Every structure is written in structure tokens, then in C-alpha cells.
């Protein structure tokens, strides 16, 4: 049995869907750009110190101490990881948040099995790509599949030092090795979305290939964490 509140929510979700269908052809151009623009560009930043607000591995090359360099690189990576485009999907408690101020998701979303509450999955509203609103600024974000990070991968509000320890812990990070983390950061479709977030949203700093290159440089320097 659906509770009345849930029924109401579902009705409005359907209204949202109708609206989406009506404006689907207005879909955000950037969403058509395929993800995975990372892999082939990983080494392209020689001589470049900073790109779109994110430092490149080259800007850390004068640090000769591996521990210090790795820590500094991870702190730079945190500008991406802790950016609202990523952290909105990596909450430590509760459901997803939205916007640059990371406010609670509207309508309220609880954490189901990642796909949302059983009665209303994320894909009730979130499609394969971003869809611009027909009658106002902004868009409904989308990617395939669209889902919430598990609680063990929640880090919104963490310090870079806490985040670093957590993200390396294979008991928390989905059993990923450091190599797997490089791979994830370089090619994952939800990571990619943060640079193609749809109308009305600020992208994460840098670009995905640079974030991948930083992750790689961090691992090469020993994957040490900031203090
Ligand atoms: C009833 C429809 C609906 C459902 C179900 C839904 N969302 Fe959303 N979500 C939206 C809309 C609409 C927005 C855009 C809000 C805005 O910015 O205008 C949004 C925005 C978001 C954002 C914000 C992105 C950003 O950086 O600002 C995240 C993250 C998100 N949803 C995650 C989820 C997850 C995870 C689920 C499933 C657990 C989910 N949503 C279920 C409608 C929904
Ligand atoms: C739409 C929601 C969503 C967005 C946006 C998102 N993630 Fe995730 N993230 C997930 C989910 C779901 C998983 C778990 C996937 C799995 O284990 O296969 C995950 C896993 C990860 C992992 C694996 C290791 C760990 O400990 O968390 C990393 C690293 C990660 N995300 C980084 C990012 C970064 C960086 C961004 C932004 C550039 C980002 N994510 C944006 C949903 C999201």
C-alpha cells in the first residue's frame, strides 16, 4: 500500500515526466558529448600549470618529497571530490542534496538500495541525459544509470585528510585498488557528468582528463594523505 504522501509525490513525479517528455527536444547539448574523454588525454598537461581552476601535475613537480607532493596533489583533487557536483551524490547521511549550496533534494529522497526508495527510483525523474526545463532556467540532471553512492562512499563535508583515508580504504570504496581509482576517476560516467552537468549548474573545476591525471600522479607519488 502506498501512503497518501507517497501517492501525491508519485503523481507530481508523473507530471514532471510529462513536462520532460514535452521538452525532451530541448535537451542540453553538452549531454550528448559522450563521457570518457579522459583516457587518451592523460599525459597532455606538460608545461600547463593550471586549467579552469585546477592545478596540473606539473605544478607539483618541484616538490621533491614524495609524501608532501602526494598530500598536496590529493588536496588539489579534493577541489573536485568535495565540489557540489560530486558531493551532492556522495552524502554521508540521508539522501542526495542539490545545487551549489547542497540543499536537501526536492522532493525529499531517502536512500534506498542506491536507486532510490523502492516505490520511486531515481530514474522516475532522472533520464539518460540532462533535460533542460521548457519554461524556466535549469535542467533535470541525467546519466545512465543515475544513482546515489552507497553510504560507505559518502563524504560530503569531510576534510581532505578524512576523505583521502576513506577513499583508499578497500572496505569502504567498493574493493577498489589505487589503479581502480585512477580508472574510475578517468572514465566513470557519473564522474564525467560533473563536467557536463546541464543548464543552470556550475561544472566541477578542471576537466575529467586532468582529474584522472592528478589521481595518477597522486598514486605514483605513493598515494600519501594530507595531514
Ligand atoms: C520526483 C523526481 C525525482 C526523483 C525520484 C529523484 N530526483 Fe534527483 N532531482 C530531481 C530534479 C527535478 C532535480 C533538479 C533540481 C534543480 O536543480 O532544479 C534533481 C536534482 C538532483 C541532484 C542535484 C545535482 C546537483 O549537483 O545540483 C542530485 C545529486 C540528484 N537529483 C540525485 C538523485 C538521486 C540519487 C535520486 C534517487 C535516490 C534522485 N535524485 C531521485 C528530481 C528527482
Ligand atoms: C549521480 C550520482 C553521482 C555523482 C554525480 C558522482 N558520483 Fe561518484 N559514485 C556514485 C556511485 C553510485 C558510486 C558507486 C559506484 C560503484 O561502486 O560501482 C560512486 C563511486 C565513486 C567513487 C569510488 C570510490 C569511493 O570510495 O567512493 C569515486 C572515487 C567517486 N565516485 C568519485 C566521484 C567524483 C570525483 C565525482 C564528481 C566529479 C562523482 N563521484 C560524482 C554516484 C555519483
Per residue in 70-86, pLDDT (tens digit) is 999 999 999 999 999 99
191 CA to centre of ligand 2 in angstroms: 6
Distances in Å between the Cα of 86 and the Cα atoms of 24, 98, 155, 202 are 25, 10, 10, 11
Q: Indicate the number of domains in the chain.
A: 1
pLDDT at 9: 42
On whether residue 226 sits in a domain, the answer given is no
Query: How many Å is the maximal CA-CA distance in the chain?
Result: 63
pLDDT at 28: 37
Please tell me the distance from the alpha carbon of residue 84 to that of residue 15, in angstroms, as a whole number.
27
Q: At 102, list the grid cell.
A: 547542497
CA 72 to chain centroid: 21
Look at residues 49, 60, 38 and name the one whose alpha carbon lies nearest to residue 182. 38
Q: Which atom of ligand 1 is nearest to the CA of 95?
A: 38
Highest mean pLDDT pick, 5-9, 49-53, 118-122: 49-53
CA 116 to chain centroid: 17
- Percent of the chain clearing pLDDT 90 (strictly above): 72
On whether residue 170 sits in a domain, the answer given is yes
Contact by Cβ (8 Å): 38, 149 = no
Average pLDDT, the chain: 84
Least confident interval from 50-54, 114-118, 167-171, 200-204: 114-118
On whether residue 227 sits in a domain, the answer given is no
Q: Which of 91, 98, 145 has the most ligand 1 atoms within 8 A of CB, as the residue to mutate?
A: 98
Give the pTM: 0.86
Task: Give pLDDT tens digits for 133-165.
Answer: 999 999 999 999 999 999 999 999 999 999 999
pLDDT at 43: 54
**Domain extent for 75:** 4-220
Ligand nearest to the CA of 19: 1
Look at residues 106, 122, 137 and name the one whose alpha carbon lies nearest to residue 201. 137
194 CA to centre of ligand 2 in angstroms: 10
On whether residue 225 sits in a domain, the answer given is no
Task: Give pLDDT tens digits for 199-217.
Answer: 999 999 999 999 999 999 9
**Top-confidence residue, 107 or 211:** 211
Amino acid at each position: 500500500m502506498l501512503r497518501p504522501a507517497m501517492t501525491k509525490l508519485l503523481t507530481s513525479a508523473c507530471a514532471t515526466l510529462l513536462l520532460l517528455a514535452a521538452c525532451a527536444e530541448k535537451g542540453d547539448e553538452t549531454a550528448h558529448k559522450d563521457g570518457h574523454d579522459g583516457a587518451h588525454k592523460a599525459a597532455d598537461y606538460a608545461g600547463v600549470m593550471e586549467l579552469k581552476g585546477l592545478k596540473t601535475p606539473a605544478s607539483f613537480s618541484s616538490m621533491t618529497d614524495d609524501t608532501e607532493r602526494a598530500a598536496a596533489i590529493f588536496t588539489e583533487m579534493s577541489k573536485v571530490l568535495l565540489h557540489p557536483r560530486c558531493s551532492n551524490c556522495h552524502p554521508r547521511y540521508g539522501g542526495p542534496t542539490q545545487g551549489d549550496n547542497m540543499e536537501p533534494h526536492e522532493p525529499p529522497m531517502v536512500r534506498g538500495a542506491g536507486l532510490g526508495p523502492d516505490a520511486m527510483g531515481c530514474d522516475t525523474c532522472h533520464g539518460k541525459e540532462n533535460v533542460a526545463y521548457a519554461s524556466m532556467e535549469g535542467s533535470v540532471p541525467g546519466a545512465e544509470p543515475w544513482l546515489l553512492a552507497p553510504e560507505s562512499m559518502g563524504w560530503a563535508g569531510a576534510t581532505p585528510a578524512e576523505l583521502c583515508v576513506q577513499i583508499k580504504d578497500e572496505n569502504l570504496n567498493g574493493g577498489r585498488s589505487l589503479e581502480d581509482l585512477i580508472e574510475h576517476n578517468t572514465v566513470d560516467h557519473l564522474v564525467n557528468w560533473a563536467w557536463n552537468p546541464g543548464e543552470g549548474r556550475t561544472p566541477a573545476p578542471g576537466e575529467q582528463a586532468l582529474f584522472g591525471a592528478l589521481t595518477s600522479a597522486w598514486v605514483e607519488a605513493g598515494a600519501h594523505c594530507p595531514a
